[in-house]
Amino acid sequence: MNQKYQNYLFKACLTIPFWYWIYRVFLTDLGADPAKSLNHKTGEMSYYFLMANLIIGVLIALKIKMPSVLRFLYLNRRFLGVITFFYLILHLTLYFAMESFEFKAVEQIYTKLYLILGFSAWILFLILALTSNDFSVKKLTVKKWKWLHRSVYLGFILASIHVLKIEKTDLIKYSLLAGFIGLIQAYRFFKSRKIS
């Protein structure tokens, strides 16, 4: 398949969860509290996409060659980051919807630890999403832009703690996922030091 069409197909696939959830909303098939259900699903999808982005980053840093059929993953990493933030926007909006858009929703953001962590990560990812373009790279210079975008690791740590403090029933699953990312990042660090 032509590389251009591979890119388009990949980007379209990343939006499938959104359209599926819209379909479920119209079916009224999301339980008694659709906002709560979708808040969980958008948060989960964002976390998976964030993990995928970090894994691709490790492959790039270690100069691991991908099969040509999967090379579009390297080319679309920045878009993956932006679409991840799109789902995070939905996640935050649905949190406010769960609280009926009342002031207590804002108050909880700076009084409950899991929300403080989650919102801190959200602000960080907002900055990264807004600077995920060529204009920002040119304005900041490549070196400063790379340093800024390395803060994605801090965002992942904050998001992971946020998730672990909420997901009591899936604690083992999310602990393993976070641990896996931690291990491959540690491998990347020691491997890159060895190469240099």
- CATH number of the domain residue 164 falls in: 1.20.120
Q: Please check the confidence at residue 69 and state whether its pLDDT lies above 80.
A: no
State residue 176's pLDDT score.
95
Residues 6+ apart with CB under 8 A from 62: 188, 191, 192
State residue 52's pLDDT score.
95
Taking the CB of residue 117, how many other CB atoms lie within 10 A of it? 19
- Which residue has tokens 């030091």? 193
Range of the domain at 110: 3-195
Q: Please check the confidence at residue 160 and state whether its pLDDT lies above 80.
A: yes
Q: Is the pTM of this model over 0.85?
A: yes
- Tell which wins on pLDDT, 67 or 143: 143
The domain total for the chain is 1
- pLDDT band at residue 43, thresholds of 50, 70 and 90? very high
Q: What distance separates the 2 farthest-apart alpha carbons in the chain?
A: 56
